Amino acid sequence: MRVHVLSERNSCSHLSWANNFDFEDVIASTCDATIISPHQYFAHTRWEPVTGRLRKGRYRKVVDRGAVGGDLLIVVAMGPPALRMLHAIPGWRREYSRVVAYVPDIYPPSESMLDDGIVRDLDALYVSYSQVVDRIQARVETPVRVMQQAADVLAGLPVRESRSVDVTAFGRLPHGVVAAMAKALTWPMSDRVGWWSPGTIPYSKTPQTDRAAFLSLLRASKATLCYRFEDSNPHQYRGVSPFTARWFEAAAAGVAIFGSQPSCPEASDPSMIQTVSLPLDGETAVGELLDLLDSSVPLENSRRNLQLACLHHDWRHRIAQILHDTDMQIPVKLNKEIERLKAMAPTRS
């Protein structure tokens, strides 16, 4: 079985995309797959945020024609415009027996940016937000399926027992929460250790190195903050409240998750990651968080979520889902690593 992955890694240095690159690496390692990644001008420079929008997905052609073609092509595109990476492989539909695409971030009204011509020729389109499936399926005939995001759980096992960082906060948070953390956690106000992401653009000249630093910090944390979209970005909320990569990365790192549970339908599924609820008011939230850090709640939450991540939310489970849907054989190595995850899942006390 010859599997290829079409990746944005050579055309985008946005750190929020990096979890997708982990997915691609796991496909490569478990399915003996080849990663193909076309280039764009000005990628990995300070001009990338501007030129990426202007080009609207103009990718350089893949020069080595012998490097393309096979049984299955998996396109991993963070947003709808990146599906145009397929134009870098002339005649891509003829080159592969099966072609599927995974577009995690389709948030209303971005589904209008889907290239209908490309989607029509796919065997399946996977999205991670269940609340957009019906509106996408209404405009395309290609099967649209839900596939939650995940994390490379196996890469971080066994999890750290010693955690020197009390709480971390990455990305979007309700107004006032970061300010309250800064007020409560900075020395000499507190001897606790907290970290929150700086207010800089999320592009990096060294994404792999920065990704490693992020994971190292997360794995050394007792708790991390994750608030649902309607709480962190109420002015942009359009009825879609998904689990984003942060929940799965945190669960895989064995860190407790505090904030607010997404309101998507799958949030009530017993196999889904669970969030310890905190208020939206910054000072109240941080006060409750500091009290909870001295309780058994963080350990209970982190152990449960790590167990769920091992059993359900490692990228290997998602790969098996794609292979099953496309009637492809699951490689021996992938099966062995899924069994290893099950064996390493912590038991709930």
194-196: strand order across its sheet: 194-196, 165-169, 221-226, 256-259, 276-277
Say whether 154-310 and 3-150+315-343 share the same fold.
yes
- pLDDT score of 51: 57
- pLDDT score of 302: 97
> 220 is written with which tokens?
């050394």
Q: Do residues 147 and 101 make contact, with C-beta atoms less than 8 angstroms apart?
A: no
Residue extents of the structural domains in the chain: 3-150+315-343, 154-310
Per CATH, the number for 3-150+315-343 is 3.40.50
Reported as a single tens digit per residue, the pLDDT across 238-292 is 999 999 999 999 999 999 999 999 999 999 999 999 999 999 999 999 999 999 9
- pLDDT score of 57: 56
- pLDDT score of 41: 67
| Class for the domain spanning 154-310 | alpha beta
Q: Taking the mean position of all CA atoms in its chain, how far away is CA 198?
A: 20
The neighbour count for residue 39, using CB atoms within 10 Å, is 13
- pLDDT score of 207: 79
254: nearest Cα among 323, 176, 344, 183? 344
Preceding amide of 104 cis, omega within 30 = no
Q: Taking the mean position of all CA atoms in its chain, how far away is CA 298?
A: 23
- pLDDT score of 16: 80
Long-range contacts of 78-81 (CB under 8 A, 24+ apart): 78/8, 78/12, 78/14, 78/16, 78/17, 78/20, 78/103, 78/104, 78/105, 79/103, 79/105, 79/106, 79/110, 79/113, 80/106, 80/110, 80/111, 80/113, 80/114, 80/115, 81/56, 81/57, 81/113
Residues 6+ apart with CB under 8 A from 156: 215, 219, 252, 253, 254
- pLDDT score of 309: 98
pLDDT by residue, tens only, the chain of 349 residues: 999 999 999 888 778 878 999 999 999 999 999 999 998 766 666 656 555 555 555 688 886 767 889 999 999 999 998 899 999 999 999 999 999 999 999 989 999 999 999 999 999 999 999 999 999 999 999 999 999 999 999 999 999 999 999 999 998 999 999 999 999 998 898 999 999 988 777 777 787 888 999 999 999 999 999 999 999 999 999 999 999 999 999 999 999 999 999 999 999 999 999 999 999 999 999 999 999 999 999 999 999 999 999 999 999 999 999 999 999 999 999 999 999 999 999 876 5
pTM comes to: 0.93
Q: Do residues 103 and 74 make contact, with C-beta atoms less than 8 angstroms apart?
A: no
